């Protein structure tokens, strides 16, 4: 998908569907989380050092726009990009598409804030991390 530097694939499992035999709504956030985890593996920012390795981000907002339900055994291709990097936050965009048809089934936006865990407050993203995050944008 144009504008997304990364994608990963996985299949809908039986435990993820509801009584209507479609993917239960909360599972779309789980799918987004799986996709973001794989995105970070792919991005491999470890060479930044402690600025990245010690960074902590907390989700402050998630928005899902459902387009079409996913069903048992559908192969999903999740596309991931960073839409925005602010002073202390970043916004991920995840498109959950049917891997065979390419159809968009859901669009997920997740906003995360860089936090100081001890102080329990947001803090600016270090410049070295911010530059790399901006480079990962679609």
**Every domain of the chain and the residues it spans:** 6-135
Mean pLDDT for the chain? 95
* pTM for the predicted model, two decimal places: 0.93
| Residue 98 exposed, middle or buried by CB count within 10 Å (0-12, 13-18, 19+) | middle
Domain 6-135 has CATH 3.40.50.300: no
pLDDT digits (tens, 9 = 90+) for 24-77: 999 999 999 999 999 999 999 999 998 898 899 999 999 999 999 999 999 999
Separation in Å, CA 87 to CA 12, 31, 35, 136: 36, 27, 24, 16
In the numeric block, the tokens 């999740």 are attached to 78
Number of CB atoms found within 10 A of residue 2's CB:
5
């Amino acid at each position: 998908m144009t504008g997304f530097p990364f994608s990963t694939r996985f299949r809908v499992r039986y435990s993820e569907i509801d009584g209507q035999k479609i993917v239960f709504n909360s599972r779309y956030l789980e799918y987004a989380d799986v996709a973001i985890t794989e995105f970070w593996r792919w991005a491999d920012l470890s060479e930044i050092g402690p600025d990245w390795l010690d960074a902590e981000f907390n989700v402050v907002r998630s928005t899902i726009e459902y387009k079409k339900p996913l069903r048992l055994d559908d192969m999903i291709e999740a596309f991931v990009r960073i839409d925005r990097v602010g002073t202390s936050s970043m916004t991920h965009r995840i498109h959950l598409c049917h891997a065979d048809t390419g159809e968009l089934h859901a669009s997920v936006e997740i906003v995360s804030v860089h936090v100081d865990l001890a102080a329990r407050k947001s803090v600016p993203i270090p410049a070295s991390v911010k530059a790399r995050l901006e480079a990962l944008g679609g």
